[in-house]
């Protein structure tokens, strides 16, 4: 961040303010960890901070400190819109285009409030007064640690903030294995452990909390896996009927897409999940190496993200969406 930006933000934070902190719709570990980490930090600076999520967050993140105070826009639109309208300052974390908040975008677009964006996705939109945007970071949580450090307020970091930030670093780095994981990421993680974050407990809360039904759903997903060795590609499909059969709850399909990449020789994996309620097929893409799924998701499936992890959606049927995907595959160059 530039010095004048840091000065500008410090001026905004110099007196107590009403601050709304917003993650993207269907928030993941990084979105919830970064918003809650910043929330605890801003409260220590005597601000009236509120995390406002566009929709529900998954159960496996409900242990995060402060998650019980998160407002959910889509559950109570009118009242939550009022909270947004009364904010003096708005942080948007872990996304960079207001449409990523779903219907909340309509409320946000009308506000004259200053926005601060902290994010690591490609191609940020131009809505924020201050922007700390850098795709070289593996997680927004790592950036929040830096942000607090840039403000010269590292002494306010504590075990609670550290636990939130450690969570997003772990989830967005695939437990420290994705290429954006640097020695600096490990230094930040080490600092968070020194502050009291309990890595073993956090890992257990995140990954060893499966329900029986979730594992059964995973079994079905793996049976549905289709492999195209010529295209170094695999994909998984899940119908709404299958989700219902295994008593799907939010978060149950998180991470399943990665199994496709674990097959030898596969560099591109996708999962197509039918969502009858929203009338869409939600898609996740993952890749290894130089195959750019952000570009792929943007070009063909109304989405975006990062080079090796992106998402998108389709309003066509599940079968048609997959048919489109297979025909697009044959036009790609997989010699990357
Ligand atoms: P996931 O597949 O886990 O939902 O998302 C992978 C990455 O792509 C995340 O960084 C997420 O924020 C981003 N992403 C997921 N869906 C979309 C989408 O519809 N649009 C854009 N721009 N990014 C997405
Ligand atoms: Mn992220």
pLDDT at 117: 98
- Kindly report the CATH number assigned to the domain that includes residue 95: 3.90.1640.10
**Strand 18-22 versus strand 48-53 pairing type:** parallel
- Ligand 1 closest atom vs CA 24: 12
Query: Does the C-beta of 313 come closer than 6 Å to ligand 1?
Result: yes
pLDDT at 68: 98
Confidence of residue 182 (pLDDT cuts 50, 70, 90): very high
Mean pLDDT of 150-173: 98
Which residue, 149, 179, 207, sits at the end of a domain? 207
**Closest-lying ligand to the alpha carbon of 118?**
2
pLDDT at 332: 83
pLDDT reading at 153 higher than 90: yes
Confidence of residue 336 (pLDDT cuts 50, 70, 90): low
pLDDT reading at 335 higher than 90: no
Query: Two tokens at 325?
Result: 């995907």
Confidence of residue 30 (pLDDT cuts 50, 70, 90): very high
pLDDT reading at 38 higher than 80: yes
pLDDT at 132: 97
Residue 219 and residue 163 share a domain: no
Query: Two tokens at 135?
Result: 């795709």
Residue 15 and residue 148 share a domain: yes
Which residue's CA is the closest to the ligand 1 atom numbered 13?
305
Mean pLDDT of 261-271: 97
Residue 289 and residue 188 share a domain: no
318, part of any domain: yes
Whole-number average pLDDT of the chain: 96
User: 94-150, pLDDT tens digit by residue?
Assistant: 999 999 999 999 999 999 999 999 999 999 999 999 999 999 999 999 999 999 999
Query: Does the C-beta of 306 come closer than 6 Å to ligand 1?
Result: yes
Residue 221 and residue 190 share a domain: no
User: 275-333, pLDDT tens digit by residue?
Assistant: 999 999 999 999 999 999 999 999 999 999 999 999 999 999 999 999 999 999 988 87
pLDDT at 334: 76
User: 42-85, pLDDT tens digit by residue?
Assistant: 999 999 999 999 999 999 999 999 999 999 999 999 999 999 99
Residue 134 CA to ligand 2 centre (angstroms): 11
Residue 240 and residue 95 share a domain: no
Residue 253 CA to ligand 2 centre (angstroms): 17
CA neighbor of 239 nearest in space, from 298, 155, 319, 123: 319
pLDDT at 147: 98
The Cα–Cα gap between 63 and 212 comes to 20
User: Which residues does 301 contact at the CB level (< 8 Å), separation at least 6?
Assistant: 283, 312, 313, 314
Residue 120 CA to ligand 2 centre (angstroms): 7
Mean pLDDT of 21-47: 98
pTM for the whole thing?
0.93
Residue 230 and residue 173 share a domain: no
Residue 131 and residue 39 share a domain: yes
Number of domains in the chain: 2
Range of the domain at 150: 3-207
pLDDT at 333: 79
- Kindly report the CATH number assigned to the domain that includes residue 233: 3.10.310.30
Other CB atoms closer than 10 Å to residue 235's CB: what's the count? Answer: 22
Q: CA-CA-CA-CA torsion for 162, 181, 305, 52, nearest 10 degrees?
A: 0
The burial class, CB within 10 Å (0-12 / 13-18 / 19+), for 263 is: middle
Task: Decide: helix, strand or coil at residue 21.
Answer: strand
Which residue's CA is the closest to the ligand 1 atom numbered 6?
310
């Amino acid at each position: 961040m530039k010095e004048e930006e840091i000065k500008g933000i410090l001026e905004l934070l110099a007196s107590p303010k009403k601050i709304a902190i917003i993650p993207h719709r269907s928030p993941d570990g990084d979105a919830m960890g970064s918003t809650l980490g910043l929330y605890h930090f801003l409260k220590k600076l005597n601000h009236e901070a509120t995390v406002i999520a566009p929709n529900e967050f998954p159960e496996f993140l409900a242990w995060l400190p402060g998650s019980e105070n998160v407002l959910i826009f889509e559950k109570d639109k009118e009242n939550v819109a009022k909270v947004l309208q009364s904010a003096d300052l708005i942080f948007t974390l872990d996304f960079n285009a207001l449409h990523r908040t779903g219907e909340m975008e309509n409320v946000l677009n009308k506000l004259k409030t200053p926005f601060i964006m902290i994010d690591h996705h490609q191609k940020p939109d131009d809505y924020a007064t201050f922007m700390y945007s850098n795709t070289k970071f593996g997680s927004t949580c790592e950036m929040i640690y830096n942000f607090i450090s840039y403000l010269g307020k590292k002494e306010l970091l504590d075990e609670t903030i550290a636990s939130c930030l450690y969570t997003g670093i772990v989830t967005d780095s695939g437990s420290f294995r994705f290429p954006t994981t640097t020695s600096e990421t490990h230094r930040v993680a080490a600092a968070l452990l020194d502050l009291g974050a309990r890595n073993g407990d956090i890992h257990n809360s995140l990954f060893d909390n499966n329900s029986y039904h979730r594992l059964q759903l995973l079994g079905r997903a793996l049976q549905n896996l289709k492999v195209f060795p010529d295209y170094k590609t695999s994909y998984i499909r899940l119908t709404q009927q299958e989700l219902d059969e295994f008593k799907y709850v939010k978060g149950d399909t998180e991470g399943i897409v990665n199994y496709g990449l674990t097959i030898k020789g596969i560099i591109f994996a996708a999962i197509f999940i039918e969502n009858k309620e929203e009338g869409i097929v939600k898609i996740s893409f993952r890749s290894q190496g130089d195959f750019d799924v952000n570009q792929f998701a943007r070009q063909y499936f109304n989405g975006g993200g990062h080079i090796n992890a992106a998402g998108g959606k389709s309003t066509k049927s599940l079968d048609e969406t997959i048919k489109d995907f297979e025909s697009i595959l044959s036009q790609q160059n997989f010699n990357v």
